[in-house]
Chain A
């Protein structure tokens, strides 16, 4: 349940460390975003090591794809999956990834043609 003002971690090598959600996309007055949704974010912190080589700057506005949430995602067979953090991958206006690598696995929910690029960048599906 990601909403405006939610601070999320960034799980790719774009250079950003944390971002803040500024808008939930996908409907009129849509309040919450969940796994697999797109949101608009503003970059809050950069990673220390890659401050010079980062692809993004502090304060820039990007679209982002939510890849991990603490709130459980319920599957049709009754099982649930949840992660230890709320995490995001930065994405451009055409919903293509800004970075070249994703840290950690993606949920199987994202096993769709649309997310093929993200799956190939990550360490796998879980």
Chain B
């Protein structure tokens, strides 16, 4: 059955149908689920079960590597990374020093990029207008 406001109602028994026609409120009839929810009957058993402790992260051995190997590798990684980083930085520095020693002043000039003459803003007005075509 669909009510005037558009909401459908499903009714199982003639008892329920008769009472809805009389516009009785389900929350006021003791045998209904709505009343039980309102007065919190039969909820305590289901609510207490929900709490379970979460198990922390457990490292397990895989077929290829035993627990110890995995742990070793994990610990190693941070050290290796550090060393690798330092080595790379050192290399760069050495290279730079070697380059400077070889070429001296000449190579340094060529390497510098071409810089524009920067005109200060307030003086550039006349020059700009001459250049652009509108």
Judge: A and B partners, yes or no. Answer: yes
Residues of chain A having any CB pair with chain B under 8 Å: 11, 68, 81-85, 87, 103-105, 123-124, 126
Q: For the complex, is B62 an interface residue (Cβ under 8 Å from A)?
A: no
Q: Is the CB of B1 within 8 A of A83?
A: yes
Size of B's binding interface in residues, CB under 8 A: 8
Residue positions of B touching A, CB distance < 8 A = 1-6, 8-9
Count A/B pairs, Cβ under 8 Å: 28
Contact indicator B4/A104 (Cβ below 8 Å): yes
Given the complex, which residues of A lie within 8 Å of B1, measured CB to CB?
82-84
Chain B residues whose C-beta falls within 8 Å of the C-beta of A81 in the assembled complex: 2
A84 and B6 within 8 A (CB): no
Q: Are B2 and A124 in contact (CB under 8 A)?
A: no
B6 touches A124 (CB 8 A): yes
28 CB-based A-B contacts, threshold 8 Å: A11-B4, A68-B2, A68-B4, A81-B2, A82-B1, A82-B2, A83-B1, A83-B2, A83-B3, A83-B4, A84-B1, A84-B2, A84-B3, A84-B4, A84-B9, A85-B4, A87-B4, A103-B4, A104-B4, A104-B5, A104-B6, A105-B2, A105-B6, A123-B6, A124-B6, A126-B2, A126-B6, A126-B8
